[in-house]
Structure 1
């Protein structure tokens, strides 16, 4: 009897250590796998049988996925902001390229040339060359202003196009999370922790967090619900698709809505939030600033012209 107990204990120990070595090998093999979380084996003593008081060796009690949910929450929260700022930075870099400052043909330069032409004309109003220079400089200012305004309109259109791609990716990731939810529920029902499947799902959630502000809720059976703007994007194994609807009142740009009922999705951050902010707020504000500047120049020039006198007196 004692020999049998000893042999069984030795076999259990070998099997447990083999599983521990398998976990180590799995960790090493996936050291460069995106989203992989280290796995750790938990061992536990086997209780003694009968009244002998002697234990029966060791068993594997479970496999732990080494992952900190609090850190995940913090990373995803910061990912919302990072995605937002990156989308804005991409659009603003195009604005910077359009303005091309400092340069010889930028707005600042042509405005300088315009005012210099007026100064030269004030010093020699009788010279036709000076008058022609003012007209030409004014036409150049108008051309550059129109070019810049069109560039910002084009950048808004580019943001709208990128919005289509980003929302499409959100829907695909939502389907991926729902599919992984189904598989995780099935695997965990067998007693397996489904660690690798959960890693894949977390990787999808990390990317979703870059695209939009979201909130997640994990349930006892292992599935995760994903909420955007207070409504479920993923609920168990089902998804609520986001749709893009053309808005004629906003230059035929897209509105972001829930496909099920057409209610607007209030996305405030992430790449989608940044694109919406650039398209509908930042870039129109810059266009308005440009228009206000040109309008003020026109007003001032017209006032100066009205206060002057003709060449013949």
Structure 2
């Protein structure tokens, strides 16, 4: 090849190098951008006695480390999981800690009214105060139960939103996979498409933990931690939600792939896994504790009333009505119950307070309450609040730790794939000098050719 053509190949290659450098600099602030590098190769000689035939740009390489990228995916999943847990536990802690929801405070007020009646158990004012405090306590149970039910609705809304987002991301990743596969087959530069795909996988990782496998043709296969496929070849999975047969308030996840349905548990990580863990490990047990407290209290109080006598000498009748299947939400006062119906007497004498004292003892009696074991009624609620508070503090700590891991993963990936302005400045100067030098080669070749031509004139 002539000197001029060799110089021209150098100019073209240097121009490509400057273009790649300019692209890197232009995208220094683009989220998820991986810097690119022009890969040069010498064009060898075609015959004996030739030095070579210049230079060519063999490819434009995307600078990335798949291990670091996978670490970022995992860190993103931890962020999605821990942030969701911390948020849900904080909300529950705030709910249980509110004065209007404090059952221990409600019990204290109720039994304080009972103690006030011990000096004159026949007094109408004291009896009315007892019934009033009983209504207030029942209302606390209702408000607390209703608020916990509201959290079930909120969980279902969050699940539905996350499922829709995950399905959309999977479809878009599948489309990018196909574009990258075609581009790779045609020798096109697919760096931008691969960057976009990594950004989408990072977003998907916040919702569910993702395992990534290189298929070898430029595409990536995705699966859940337990191996259930999300994306393989041109087949893409879709998440779904169905009503939980064991709890109509809740929804359960399912995964459909290539005509098959897979059961999904809380081991999928990310936001969806955290929502499932929160429901089964925190919200449901908390609801059971509240219902147990309501059931044990109302049953014990009604049973003790039946042991006494009212102002008319009749055997006591129940003060509270409730549905045993859902006691906290249904606890209320019998609308036909009168103040004189309170069976505070132990022997039928109107001024006797024998049964009243036994009713007061219920406050210090211990009951078997859910997963908390044997507790007093007020103590069980305080233990529940303390248990949730401990879990909330731990969740906040886990979230902070996950944030640090995510920052570290981002920094490590950026150290490999990120754009360094100093490095790009050096590259630009290098390519510019090479460009000018090759122009000088072309100029020299032109002068030499002109000198040769003058010999014939």
* TM-score exceeds 0.5: yes
157-166 or 276-285, which deviates more: 276-285
Answer yes or no: is the 8 Å Cα contact 2:266–2:277 preserved in 1.
no
Which of 219, 226, 244 is the equivalent residue of 1:223? 219
Which of 115, 125, 128 is the equivalent residue of 1:129? 125
Cα separation, 1, equivalents of 2:85 and 2:265: 18
Answer yes or no: is the 8 Å Cα contact 2:101–2:144 preserved in 1.
no
Secondary structure (helix, strand or coil) at the match of 1:67 reads coil
Q: Are 1:153 and 2:149 matched, yes or no? A: yes
Once the 2 structures are TM-superposed, how far is the Cα of residue 144 of structure 1 from its aligned partner? 1.0
Once the 2 structures are TM-superposed, how far is the Cα of residue 295 of structure 1 from its aligned partner? 3.4
Secondary structure (helix, strand or coil) at the match of 1:141 reads helix
TM-score, length of structure 2 as denominator length: 0.61
Q: Are 1:265 and 2:261 matched, yes or no? A: no
Matches within 5 A, 1:89-128: 89-99=86-96, 101-103=97-99, 106-122=102-118, 125-128=121-124
Which of 52, 56, 61 is the equivalent residue of 1:59? 56
Answer yes or no: is the 8 Å Cα contact 1:47–1:56 preserved in 2.
yes
Cα separation, 2, equivalents of 1:273 and 1:149: 24
Once the 2 structures are TM-superposed, how far is the Cα of residue 48 of structure 1 from its aligned partner? 4.6
Partner of 2:417: none
50-59 or 189-198, which deviates more: 50-59
Partner of 2:175: 179
Larger RCO, structures 1/2 (Cα 8 Å, 6+ apart):
2
Deviations 1:1-41 (A, max 9, x none): 7xx22x23322222122111111221222233232211122
Secondary structure (helix, strand or coil) at the match of 2:51 reads coil
Deviations 1:195-243 (A, max 9, x none): 1111111111111111112211112211111112422221122212222
Partner of 1:245: 242
Answer yes or no: is the 8 Å Cα contact 1:217–1:226 preserved in 2.
yes
Once the 2 structures are TM-superposed, how far is the Cα of residue 138 of structure 1 from its aligned partner? 2.1
Q: Are 1:188 and 2:178 matched, yes or no? A: no
Which of 1, 17, 21 is the equivalent residue of 2:18? 21
In the superposition, relative to structure 1, how do residues 28 and 123 fare at CA in structure 2: closer, same or farther (>3 Å)?
farther
In the superposition, relative to structure 1, how do residues 20 and 267 fare at CA in structure 2: closer, same or farther (>3 Å)?
farther
Flag the structure with larger Rg. Answer: 2
In the superposition, relative to structure 1, how do residues 266 and 117 fare at CA in structure 2: closer, same or farther (>3 Å)?
same
Q: Are 1:279 and 2:276 matched, yes or no? A: no
Q: Unaligned stretches of 5+ in structure 1?
A: none
Answer yes or no: is the 8 Å Cα contact 1:160–1:275 preserved in 2.
no
In the superposition, relative to structure 1, how do residues 139 and 48 fare at CA in structure 2: closer, same or farther (>3 Å)?
same
Cα separation, 1, equivalents of 2:53 and 2:116: 104
Cα separation, 1, equivalents of 2:104 and 2:227: 46
CA RMSD of aligned residues (A): 2.7
Deviations 1:95-141 (A, max 9, x none): 34433x24366434323322332333345545433333222222212
Partner of 2:31: 34
In the superposition, relative to structure 1, how do residues 167 and 222 fare at CA in structure 2: closer, same or farther (>3 Å)?
same
Answer yes or no: is the 8 Å Cα contact 1:84–1:274 preserved in 2.
yes
In the superposition, relative to structure 1, how do residues 9 and 112 fare at CA in structure 2: closer, same or farther (>3 Å)?
farther
In the superposition, relative to structure 1, how do residues 52 and 133 fare at CA in structure 2: closer, same or farther (>3 Å)?
farther
TM-score, length of structure 1 as denominator length: 0.86
In the superposition, relative to structure 1, how do residues 117 and 195 fare at CA in structure 2: closer, same or farther (>3 Å)?
same
Secondary structure (helix, strand or coil) at the match of 1:251 reads strand
Once the 2 structures are TM-superposed, how far is the Cα of residue 89 of structure 1 from its aligned partner? 3.0
Partner of 2:9: 12
Once the 2 structures are TM-superposed, how far is the Cα of residue 284 of structure 1 from its aligned partner? 1.0
Q: Unaligned stretches of 5+ in structure 2?
A: 309-343, 353-457
